[in-house]
Structure 1
Amino acid sequence: MNAAPALLGYAAAVGTLAPGVLLRSHWPQRSPALAVVAWFTLGVTVLVSLSLAALNLAGPHAHLHGLLYSCRTALGLGSSADGALMGAGIVFCAVLAAAYLTGFGAYAVRARAARAGHRDVLDKVGRRSERLGAVVVEHAVPAAYCLPGRRPRVVVSTGAVGLLSDVELGAVVEHERAHIRGRHHLVLAAAHAVAWVLPGTPLARHLREQVSLLLEMVADDRALRLFPRSTLASAMFSMASGEAPHGALAAGGQTVLIRLRRVLGPGRSARPLLRCWVGTTAVLAPVLPVLVVCPAGLA
């Protein structure tokens, strides 16, 4: 029996049904970093399944016995015709990988160019505040954001400086520093690359949105290590109208209400058993197709 239909079905299930399960779950907000891993696991699983499906479509003699069952003795086997078909499947896998790298690179390059242009403007109109550890710009709307990369900057508007207390400003700046230290701009580029490879799928759409939100929660948790919940919540409420230029990560924005409810709620992390289960699933989901499907040419 050819494995391609099973692989395509597995990819379809993961790409359409699994996102809804994650969206309805409550644990991602309690462990946002683990949830980011879970979302990317779904993307990797779909890509691995599609790649193996291509290999098995190229080889009609592929089967579902699996690597664990029969591939241990199959090295070096296969006809020349099977080898040619296998080559076609490998080309598809290479195209898939190239598409992902292209999506990642395109987003990263655009964002980097936007940040470079904005840094040039900041060098002319901004002033460095040693007290805040940030660049202050003249702008009436309270806003704060960071420009990650080789020359990272935390930027705060004069509207925010005039509105927030010193401790609230400290919480906001720490939130932005968390984005820089965690290299969250690269994680966002990876999320956009998945959407590039799998356009129009529920997984691509939700992964991009949820990873962005979860990274804000990760930065919130970092700030909460140093500042009280009430302080961060007050600063977030005051900064809700703030936006960031392209390529930057902002403390305000459309996700503030969701994050406010989380910060003001009970500070519970996911239970160890649940974390263990999610971690195990994250490892097994993309590996499962490799374990149960013997690629064409190795049968």
Structure 2
Amino acid sequence: MIVLVTGLVVSVVVLGCAAGPVLDLLRRSAVGPGTAVACWAAALAGTCIAAAGIAAAALLAPPGPGHGFLSRLRDCLPHHGRIATAAAAVATAVLVAACAAVLARGLPRLGRAVRHRRRHREMLRLVAREDRRHPDVLVLDHPMAVAYSLPSRHRAIVVSTGAQQVLSAEEFGAVLAHERAHLRQRHHVLLLAVDLVHAMLPWLPTVRRAKARLPLLLEMAADDAAVRAHGTQPLVGALCRLSAAPAVAGALGAAGAPAAGALMERVLRLEGAARARPRRAVRLAAGLFVVAAVAAPLLAGAVAIAELAATC
């Protein structure tokens, strides 16, 4: 049992503290954006799983009240001393309060983000019109060139009449391919999950770095999908024409003024040789990291809880 709990603690330290700086160093190397996104997501998932396993083990360890609850039928709790049981109850109360405080920071933030997206979609239904040529596009009558996507079952991509006027047919197609890649790869869900984890565990280096790095990596991953469909120059031209557009809260856009520095990095990457496909050995190592980062804490936590449930 001690070995399993120690493994969970080590998982939090390795994934929550050390993995972030290492992945940050690999961001500009031969690792492609899709591979990097998978590694960041696995590190965050493994960190959350290990932290939840530690909390569960602390609540269920004898003579804690959680252990007594699971072993009620075996009448286990009376076998422990009163002082030990009282100390475990106090420690459990403190741990439960800490977990509740963490959830109280994160869950309201998640609720506000979901409500904001829902209000945004409702507003678009009132002011935007459907594009007859593209079944997934809403057209907003506005002179500013804007293009972005929101998670929705119908008409998830929003473009302005200004964007339609300034973009050529190939550039407009590249923008749509970019936004469709965001929707197809569930980038909005990933960003929402990262925001939730950051609200609950902001002190971990991996979480802080993921909050800062993932948006750019997701844009690069969508850029690659657009380039495969329409080529590099149409996308670069579209990014430059849309660079003055403001970013939309809760949405993913091809370009925006607040991300001007990141936009320049994306353009330089598209025009240079930095978009080369990662080597097979790099992809294999990344795949092994993704599997290990999720499977190891999940297995250790499951075995630890199973042992606690059967131990008096």
With the shorter chain as reference, the TM-score category is 0.7 to 0.9
Tell me whether 1:210 sits opposite 2:213 in the alignment.
Answer: yes
Q: Paired residue for 2:15? A: 14
Tell me whether 1:167 sits opposite 2:174 in the alignment.
Answer: no
Contact map agreement 1:101 1:193 (CA 8 A) in 2: no
Query: Residue by residue, what CA displacement relative to the aligned partner does 1:206-262 show, whole Å, maximum 9, x if unpaired?
Result: 112222222212221221221011110111111112234322211112031222122
Contact map agreement 1:7 1:50 (CA 8 A) in 2: yes
Q: Paired residue for 2:264? A: 257
Q: Secondary structure at the match of 1:49?
A: helix
Q: Secondary structure at the match of 1:145?
A: strand
Tell me whether 1:200 sits opposite 2:200 in the alignment.
Answer: no
Tell me whether 1:115 sits opposite 2:123 in the alignment.
Answer: no
* d(CA) in 2 for partners of 1:219, 1:278: 20
Q: Paired residue for 1:126? A: 128
* d(CA) in 1 for partners of 2:251, 2:30: 23
Pairwise CA RMSD: 3.8
* d(CA) in 1 for partners of 2:254, 2:132: 20
Q: Paired residue for 1:275? A: 283
One-letter code aligned to 2:278: A
* d(CA) in 1 for partners of 2:38, 2:29: 10
* d(CA) in 1 for partners of 2:298, 2:96: 14
What is the Cα deviation at residue 172 of structure 1? 0.7
Q: Secondary structure at the match of 2:230?
A: coil
Q: Secondary structure at the match of 2:138?
A: strand
* d(CA) in 1 for partners of 2:40, 2:20: 8
What is the Cα deviation at residue 168 of structure 1? 0.5
Contact map agreement 2:20 2:207 (CA 8 A) in 1: no
Aligned residues: 283
* d(CA) in 2 for partners of 1:264, 1:100: 44
* d(CA) in 1 for partners of 2:42, 2:96: 18
User: Mind listing any 5+ residue stretches in structure 1 that lack a counterpart?
Assistant: 62-76
Between Structure 1 and Structure 2, the one with more helix by share is 2
Structure 1 vs Structure 2: percent identity of aligned residues? 32
What is the Cα deviation at residue 109 of structure 1? 3.7
* d(CA) in 2 for partners of 1:93, 1:287: 26
1:67-146 mapped onto 2 (5 Å cutoff) = 80=77, 103=106, 106-131=108-133, 134-146=137-149
One-letter code aligned to 2:269: R
What is the Cα deviation at residue 268 of structure 1? 1.4
**Structure 1 residues 270 and 213: CA distance shift in structure 2, 3 A:** same
Q: Paired residue for 2:70? A: none
Tell me whether 1:176 sits opposite 2:179 in the alignment.
Answer: yes
* d(CA) in 2 for partners of 1:115, 1:51: 29
Query: Residue by residue, what CA displacement relative to the aligned partner does 1:181-229 show, whole Å, maximum 9, x if unpaired?
Result: 2232211111112112212322222112222222212221221221011
